[in-house]
A and B are shown apart, each in its own frame.
Chain A
Amino acid sequence: MATDNKNRISVSEMIEEQKKKRKFLNQLEKLIPTLLLIIASLSVLTTVGIVYTLLAESVAFFRNVPILDFFTGTILKPLSQNPEFGVLPLLNGTIISTVIAMLVAGPIGMMSAIYLSEYAPDHVRRVLKPLLEILAGVPTIVYGFFAFTFVTPLLRMVFPSIEATNILSPGIIMGVMIIPMIASLSEDAMSSVPNSIREGALALGSTKLETTFKVVIPAALSGIIASFVLGISRAIGETMIVAIASGSSKNFTFDITQSMQTMTAYIVEVAGGEAAAGTTIYYSLYAVALTLFVFTLIMNLLAKYISRKFREEY
């Protein structure tokens, strides 16, 4: 023991020695918060940049087209001799496709979530959940193609008068695309409700279904609402599916078997066309994009408000 002590230096001496070597690391340590702040600001700065561009170019647009005409106009003819820029046909297309998508994704996603979280045996859940999430990995262009070449012909059996491009089929397929999002996020929210609460309900003589609907879902409501809002945002922002399967008709109609254009599809069409910079049609791009942006912003704020209001904390 004694010899050992002579040969070895003590731990505190070793630490002292290391300290000198670590000078650079210590300096870096001090810089870390600043470095991280800059990186974290990047996304904020990008957002600010985007909003600035949208606003600046939109202002140019509204110099040519009165803002009231834009938001109340039901006629959109950007390419005609006397162009008219009413955004309502696009808003209509976006809202209708989103509603169709949510009518598909909401119930199916919720029921999948309920099954996965409350009923599925462990081994079934472990297989089923990843499988469901594969649906979310399908590229949207494939979905669009699928809607156009498979779903629309299928729908023709039910609605013989359906147009080759229509809002119904991309709406349904967008719903299918959103199902895994709602199912997976809602399942997470429901699974994180403590078991003790379920036991409390079951011990009072509730059936499994009553426990699920009256205790678990209310307790998980904020997460479930969040999943719905994300789904809606996704549907509003979805571009490829509607661009392919719903065509580019700018009619203001509520007939879901007809072709309609959404805001996103309009942007694709105009940006892909030969709109020269500086023309009104070019600027209309930004005005529509701004509308879209405001739309999703309101959705997100609404979601925050609702989920805070319905929160049942556990």
Chain B
Amino acid sequence: MNTVMTKKINLQLVRNERREPAVQKEIVYDTKDLNLWYGETHALKNINMDIKEKEVTAIIGPSGCGKSTYLKTLNRMVELVPIVKTSGEITYKGRNILDKSFRVEDLRTQVGMVFQKANPFPKSIYENIAYGPRIHGINNKKILDEIVEKSLRGAFIWDELKDRLHDNAYGLSGGQQQRLCIARCLAVEPNVILMDEPTSALDPKSTLRIEELVQELKKDYAIVIVTHNMQQAARISDKTAFFLNGEIIEYDQTDHIFNTPTDERTGDYISGRFG
């Protein structure tokens, strides 16, 4: 009797351990009081948020709430809009990336991005993957071959594409193109992958494959995913941030956000009352 009890307790312990691993996950991004303006429009207001390694962080919110803007601030792609101004700081591994002395190319080499619409280059599948390593000076054919295979395997698309590596990437289906873009991103071995609604243009089957892929990738990478699809956020993320009108309304463990949201507006949005 007694032994059975201890066994149960042990199991409980094991379960708890699984939930809260003993090893503290390192913080990759730490955002402090970030404000961002497009000209006169105040698009992000006092954002404070930390993003940890080996976790999927989802950002949800209605259109125009600033979630994509925030994502693009994390690799400074937002600067492609010339009228952008920022204040506050985002530290990536301890350095403020908003500091102009931070070389944006270095940041983007370590932080990959997957876009809403698959954007392969109009080149062969092989050249798409090899592009990243090439611009960073890796030109050895043998090494490139290895990188291409490894990256395509990493995106679980190797078996589908291995016989047509030299075909144009534009001949692939939408879902394949998006996974190719993920593979292209993996080729430079980043630490973080930012995903901007990566499945919004895909059919359910392709979406599922990308979601499975995200689960695999989070073993090695920090993933930040912006999504319109709340079920998706609930399915794949560890933490969820709810953005509204440029502010973070709530940022917490995903199951907490979806089951017992603290803020009324979060609950309303999740239950589909607006958005």
Contacts and interface: CB of A to CB of B under 8 A. Distances in A.
Contacts of A203: 75, 77, 108, 112-113, 115, 185
A197 B131 contact: no
Nearest to A122: B82
A261 to B, nearest CB: 44
Given A204-B185, A312-B122, A196 B115 contact: yes
B153 interface: no
A204 B82 contact: no
Interface residues of B, number: 30
Nearest to A314: B122
Contacts of B188: 204-205
Contact of B135 (A121, A197, A210): A210
B132 interface: yes
Contacts of A200: 115, 119-121, 181, 184
B132 A205 contact: yes
Interface in A195-253: 196-197, 199-207, 210, 214-215, 218-219
A313 interface: yes
Nearest to B82: A121
Contacts of B107: 205
A199 B121 CA distance: 10
A191 to B, nearest CB: 15
B117 A196 contact: yes
Nearest to A198: B80
Given A200-B119, A200-B181, A203-B112, A214 B131 contact: yes
Interface in B67-116: 75, 77, 80, 82, 105-110, 112-113, 115
B131 A314 contact: no
Contacts of A197: 119, 121-122
B131 A201 contact: yes
B185 A313 contact: no
Given A203-B108, A204-B109, A205-B188, A219 B131 contact: no
Interface residues of A, number: 21
B170 interface: yes
A313 B105 contact: no
Nearest to B134: A214
A199 B122 contact: no
Interface in B169-215: 170, 181, 184-185, 188
Contact of A196 (B119, B134, B170, B184): B119
A204 B131 contact: yes
Given A196-B117, A199-B77, A206 B123 contact: no
Contacts of B8: none
Given A197-B122, A313-B122, A204 B170 contact: no
A313 B168 contact: yes
B19 interface: no
B109 A205 contact: yes
Nearest to A211: B135
B136 interface: yes
**Counting chain B CB atoms within 10 Å of each CB, which of A201, A203, A207 scores highest?**
A203
A190 to B, nearest CB: 13
A284 to B, nearest CB: 49
A205 B132 CA distance: 8
**Counting chain A CB atoms within 10 Å of each CB, which of B108, B109, B110 scores highest?**
B108
B123 A202 contact: no
Interface in B137-184: 168, 170, 181, 184
Contacts of A202: 77, 80, 108
A172 B104 CA distance: 41
The 9 closest A-B pairs by CB, nearest first: A205-B109, A312-B122, A203-B113, A196-B119, A205-B108, A200-B119, A314-B122, A204-B132, A205-B105
Interface of A: 121, 194, 196-197, 199-207, 210, 214-215, 218-219, 312-314
Given A200-B184, A313-B170, 17 more contacts: A194-B119, A196-B115, A196-B117, A199-B77, A201-B121, A202-B77, A204-B108, A204-B109, A204-B112, A204-B132, A205-B105, A205-B110, A210-B135, A215-B121, A215-B131, A313-B122, A314-B170
17 contacts: A121-B82, A197-B119, A199-B77, A199-B80, A200-B184, A202-B77, A203-B75, A203-B108, A203-B115, A204-B108, A204-B132, A204-B135, A207-B105, A215-B121, A219-B122, A312-B123, A314-B122
